[in-house]
Amino acid sequence: MMETFKALYSNGKRKSEVYKKRQSDVYESQEGKERMVDMEELIIIGSGPAGLSAAIYAARNDLKPLVLGGSAPGGQLLLTTTVDNYPGFPEGIYGSELIDNMRKQAERFGARFENDDVIDIDVASRPFKIKTAQNEYEARALIIATGATTKWLGLESEKRLIGRGVSSCATCDAAFFRDKDVVVVGGGDTAMEDSVYLTKFAKSVTIVHRRDEFRATKIMQERALSNPKIKVIYNTVIDEILGNERVTGVKLKNVKTNELTELPVQGVFVAIGNMPNSGFLKGKLELDEQGYIITNEEVKTAIDGLFVAGDVADKRYQQAITAAASGAKAAIEAGRFLQNEKRS
């Protein structure tokens, strides 16, 4: 086996440190060549607050988890500047610093990290098989914490100003816009809910919607439209978000007349939807119509040994603290599952 390892290594294929620490199995590949699959006790897919909290708990439970953190490790908190609502930081903390701290904390107890995207899993039988572009692994237990991705407008100016007045999370960032003018983009329930929530803080909220009517439920529309701080601009899209260091306004385009106008605002909330990162799970796990993983008793799934944490299974709360909490729960459940299995 050591010879195989050396051969693979000298062929330039990247092997994780895992090999030295844990048992590996040798398999025949389709081409007839030997290939190794790392056998892990617990693999965690995703390195946002859910995956990192799971890693802290699992590592402290001596499970030596391997975190496959994705090609964009850290998750959604890297898209924001100050996080003001995560407990323990009275002055707030930068999203990137919070993530960095969580990762260091997990590493302190022995969690290991690979920044690879998982492209396929086989959970039909155990051990589970997990495939990245670089490697293949086997695990006795698995936690999926792949989070969600905001649907953004796709403007260059939007990308530049995310965290500088552009946000997709009203619950997280509304309080930064006290007495300011803001725009909400969207026409569904989330846009209505975010608009009403923002009126607690903002001086004015303008909903910009590309059609001439909302698709939000009637009750949500009524709630928004009856609020004196909210006004609506229909048949209109944002053509550009203005501002260098921070948002100073939006350039609007009427989709019927192509007329361009400018509206001075300090905040832009994009509320056109969220996509759970579950594409590679289609046909493997039960997903709802939007792609969120359906869980059974919170963090458990119908498959023994497979647990889920964070936004990939949660379309209701989607906060760092709720993701972190479910990560902790998933790791505790995974620990109990592995322990029970050893006993039987």
Which stretches of the chain bind ligand FAD, using CB under 6 A?
45-51, 68-70, 72-77, 79-80, 83, 85-86, 117-118, 145-148, 150, 167-169, 172, 277, 280, 310-311, 318-321, 323
Asked if 169 is an active-site residue, the reply is yes
Residue 34 CB, shortest distance to ligand FAD, in Å, is 26
The full 3-state SS of 269-336, as one line of letters, equals EECCCEEECCHHHCCCCCECCCCCECCECCCECCCCCEEECHHHHCCCCCCHHHHHHHHHHHHHHHHH
Residue 193 CB, shortest distance to ligand FAD, in Å, is 15
Q: Are strands 236-242 and 249-254 parallel, antiparallel or unpaired?
A: antiparallel
Asked if 311 is an active-site residue, the reply is no
- Closer to ligand FAD by Cβ: residue 47 or 221: 47
Beta strands in the chain (DSSP E): 24-28, 34-45, 66-68, 82-83, 93-94, 112-114, 118-122, 128-132, 136-144, 148-150, 166-167, 181-185, 204-208, 230-233, 236-242, 249-254, 260-263, 267-270, 274-276, 306-308
Query: Of 146, 147, 144, 148, nearest to 334 (Cα)?
Result: 144
- Closer to ligand FAD by Cβ: residue 164 or 223: 164
Residue 308 CB, shortest distance to ligand FAD, in Å, is 10
Residue 62 CB, shortest distance to ligand FAD, in Å, is 23
Q: Give me the catalytic one of 116, 172, 194, 311.
A: 172
- Closer to ligand FAD by Cβ: residue 68 or 306: 68
- Closer to ligand FAD by Cβ: residue 227 or 322: 322
Asked if 62 is an active-site residue, the reply is no
Q: Give me the catalytic one of 38, 116, 173, 194.
A: 173
Catalytic residues: 169, 172-173
